[in-house]
Each structure stands twice: as structure tokens, then as C-alpha cells.
Amino acid sequence: MEANIQILTVMVVYVVGLLTLGFYFGRRVKSSSDFAIAGRKLPGWIAALSERSTGESSWALLGLPGVAYATGLFEIWTALGCFFGVVVSWWFLAWRLRNEAEKYEVNSFSEYLSKRHGDKNRWLRIASAFTIVFFFFFYVGAQFVGGSKIIENLFGIPKFYGMLIVLVMIVPYTIYGGFRSVTYTDVIQAIIMIITLVVTPIAGYFYLQNASETTVFSNSLWQGLSLSGQNYTSLFMAPQSEQTIALGVLFGQWFPVAPQLANGLVVGVLITGSFAWFFGFLGGQPQLSMRFMAIRSRKEAKQARNISIIWTFFAYSGALLIGWLGIAMFGPTGLDDQETVLLAVLGRVFPPAIQGILITGVLAAIISTANSLLILSSTELSENLVQPFLSKNRTPKNSLFHSRLITFLLAIVAMTVAWFSPVDLVFSIVSYVWSGIGSTFSVVILLTLFWKRFSAKAAILTIIGGLSFTVFWIAGGLETYLTTRILTFLVALMLALIGSIIVSRKN
């Protein structure tokens, strides 16, 4: 009980400080443009840390360590896909999107696509905004799920009340300060996250070296993986799972006389699916692209690139090591919920006060992503689906009020979606959104920037096709065989090329 009180005290102090900081920076928000994109005057280092804390969310502190705990070294493919996606997005896309946002004077992701393609009838804005809002209900919901897991694990508070607590931590300063408050508080959260992801593996290593053999599964990380089975120590052999079994049966039926070929295909599909997180980073995550667009100069975009890449390398390395340390400490079946491995490791390694500080790293991830997604969703809904159909005599004051009201309502709906969601794994929920949003819009952004023949009509076809295919594939249970993260990208690319050729011929 005393330990929980110490942890709770640290967390309360952190949240109060975060709210204070958020309200302080929110004072300068005077218009819907300030609320949505901070007037496109964000310093590079702020944008970098905000983009990273937003991009990683509870996925990097709960999801990725959890799946590394469940699969061993095989999960390196996921980390590689994400890392190279971050590198490519910052190196080739960030400064281009910044320049485009300045040129077209845009406040939202969908507004940029519409103005860039000269979409006079706003159909591209509507299709884009609707798709973002639809999928982001689930993405925000994943943060509520992650937050409730932490609260329930530490204090035994039921899931619903845990979600309400997360709602109270996120909504007030997000509504008040919008994008400006969110990005500046993201800096604090990015620092806490990276401290958690770096310090925990180092402390865990020394803990294993000195732990009694009766209190841990193994005294070394590699030995723990080896004792868990051959699958845990191989980059080309994933542990048995529903997907592995389903693929084995499928390819076994296709190639009954060539079992080695069937096994090779299973491994190839699994590796491709893990690395396919790469495709969602190619401009396809609007909440990240908005950070690129908000940077105040191209010079600062380069500075932000270097900070972001270094941060990502250490963050992913730490997340994987935490999962593998969990195997060494508890064994491959020692935890009921794989996504609580970070909390379990912290509980073993650190005294309560330090645990409280580092657990705020998980809360930081959840808060930074949830508020960013809420701002983006409310901006898309307000700027592209609601306010264009309201009175033409809009003022900055009532536009700002509409943005804040919509943000609050979206938060309530997202929490409701999370409560009724049949999937309780943060990793799975984020994966679905990464397919529908990331893989679809990556195609749209890449072709918008690099292919002049890509038109508004082709973009609309791409967005609707990507959304429809993702829903169809997941609803049909086909995700068991091959992830939509790569299939949606390929389908969207095919539709984009076909649509551009058809429109070009008509013109």
C-alpha cells in the first residue's frame, strides 16, 4: 500500500505539472489556426520531440515491449521497419511538407491535399477528413486502453474508471490550448519516455546479474531467450501463434510435397508483415505530418531530423530490450498480459518512488498521442466537415469555440469506442489504424509530392479504396494470413495509378 501511495504521489505531481504547462502555453491561442497548427511557427527541436512522442504513444512502451516479450528476437523486424520509416520521412518528406504548408497556407492535413490538387468542390477534403476521423476514433481508443491497463495494474481500479481518469488527464488543456499546448507539453513527455526506455534496460541488466536464481527465470538476457525455445533466438523463426499456424496450414496445402518451401513462405510473410510498419511512416500519419508542416523554417527542419532519428534509435532499442528482459525475469509464460511487461520489469528493478517517475513515461506516451490525435481529429472535423456548412459570417472566436467543443465530443466518443472494442491489445488496435490511415495516405502524400499526374479524383479513389479494403480485410478475418499494412499500401497504390491514368486520358 505504501509503495502504491508513493507511485500515485509522483504521478499526480506529474499530471498537475503537465496541466499547468499546457494551460500556460495555451494562453497564446487566439484563433482556429493557432489551435490547429500553432500558426506554423514551431521551433525545429520542439517539432522533433513532439513528433516522436506522438508517433510512439503507448505502442512503444506497452505494445512493442509486449510483442518482443511474446516473440523474442523476431520482433527486430518490426523495429527495423519503424526506424527506417522514421528516417525516410524526416530525410525526404518533412522539409517538403513544411514548404508546401507555408506555400498553400493550410491549417489541416485535408486542407493541404485539397488546395494542392485544386479541389474546388471540397470532395477530396471531405473524403480525407472522414477517413481520418473514422480511424482515429480507434487510435485514440487505443490510448484509453493503454492508460486503463496501467491504472488497473497498479491500483486495481476497473477499466471504465481508469478510462475516465485518462480522459481527465488529457482533455482540459487540450481543449484550451490546442496544438500549441500539445506540442510544448510533448517535449516534456518525449524526455520522460526516452529516460524510461534507456534507464530501464540498463538497470534491468544489472538486476539480472545480481539476482538469485530462485527469483528469476534466468540470470542473463540471452540465456532467458535460449531457455524459452529456439523460436525466441531466431530472426527467421517466429514463436507459434494463430497467424503462424494458419499460414502453415495454408502453404502446407498449396505445397504438400515441398514442406521447406511452405515453411520459407510462412517466414517470408511474417517478416514482410512485421517490416510493413515502414509504409505508414511515408507521410501517411496525419498527426506526424502536421508536425512537419508546423516547423517555422527549412533550416530547423534539418535540425529536427537529426534529433528525431537519434531519439528513435535509442527508444526502439530500449523497447525491445525491455521485452527480452521480461523473458529473463519471468519466463515466456510468466505474465498474464504481455503488454504489462514494462510495468512488471519496473516493479522488480526499482523502488516505488523511481517506479512512479518512470511509469509516468508510459503515461506520457499515452497523453502525448491521445491529445495530438484529438486535436487533429477535431481540426479535420471542424475545418472540413462542420464549419464549411455553417454561416459564412464566421469569426475567429466562434471558430475557436467550435474547435474546442468538437474536441471534447470526440474524446467522449473515442472513450466509448474503446470501452466496447472487442480487441484489448494496444499493438493490434494501432496496427489496424496504421493500415487504414498510414498505408493509404502514404500513397496519397508520396504521389502528391512526386508525381504531377496525380489528381484530386485519383486521390479520392485512393482514399475510399484504401479505407474500404482495410475494413473488408479485417472484418473478414483475413488479417490472420497477411497484414493489411502492406496490402492496403499496394491496393491504394494500384488504385492511385489507375485513377491517374483514367483522369489523364479524359483530360
Q: Is the pLDDT of residue 448 over 90?
A: yes
Residues 6 or more apart whose Cβ sits within 8 Å of residue 61: 193, 196, 197, 319, 342, 361, 362, 365
Paired strand residues for 295: 42
Question: What is the rounded average pLDDT of the residues 364-372?
Answer: 71
Q: Return the minimum-mean-pLDDT range out of 182-186, 297-301, 309-313, 465-469.
A: 182-186
- At 18, is the secondary structure helix, strand, or coil? helix
Question: What is the rounded average pLDDT of the residues 377-394?
Answer: 66
Question: What is the rounded average pLDDT of the residues 64-71?
Answer: 91
More confident residue, 6 or 212: 212
Q: Return the minimum-mean-pLDDT range out of 213-222, 391-400, 420-429.
A: 391-400
Q: Return the minimum-mean-pLDDT range out of 314-328, 337-351, 355-369.
A: 355-369
Q: How far out from the chain centre does Cα 238 lie?
A: 24
Q: What is the pLDDT of residue 378?
A: 75
Q: pLDDT digits over 134-184, tens only?
A: 887 777 777 787 778 778 877 788 888 888 888 887 777 666 666 667 777
What is the pLDDT confidence band of residue 88, given thresholds at 50, 70 and 90?
very high
Residues 6 or more apart whose Cβ sits within 8 Å of residue 319: 60, 61, 64, 65, 68, 79, 197
CB 405 within 8 A of CB 131: no
Q: Return the minimum-mean-pLDDT range out of 174-178, 361-365, 478-482.
A: 174-178
CB 80 within 8 A of CB 281: no
Q: Is the pLDDT of residue 34 over 70?
A: no
Q: What is the pLDDT of residue 38?
A: 54
What value does the CA radius of gyration of the chain take, rounded to a whole number of Å?
Answer: 23
Average pLDDT for the chain: 82
Q: Is the pLDDT of residue 494 over 90?
A: yes
* Rounded Cα distance, 104 and 401, in Å: 25
Question: What is the rounded average pLDDT of the residues 366-384?
Answer: 74
* Rounded Cα distance, 143 and 369, in Å: 7
* Rounded Cα distance, 95 and 88, in Å: 12
Highest mean pLDDT among 172-186, 349-363, 484-498: 484-498
Q: pLDDT digits over 227-271, tens only?
A: 988 889 888 876 677 777 777 777 777 777 677 777 878 888 888
In order of start, what are the domains of the chain with their CATH numbers? 2-12+56-506 (1.20.1730.10)
Query: Which of 464, 378, 384, 465 minimizes the C-alpha distance to 121?
Result: 384
Q: pLDDT digits over 73-85, tens only?
A: 999 999 999 999 9
More confident residue, 181 or 311: 311
What is the pLDDT confidence band of residue 490, given thresholds at 50, 70 and 90?
very high
Q: What is the pLDDT of residue 199?
A: 93
Query: Which of 161, 160, 162, 182 minimizes the C-alpha distance to 171?
Result: 182
Residues 6 or more apart whose Cβ sits within 8 Å of residue 413: 137
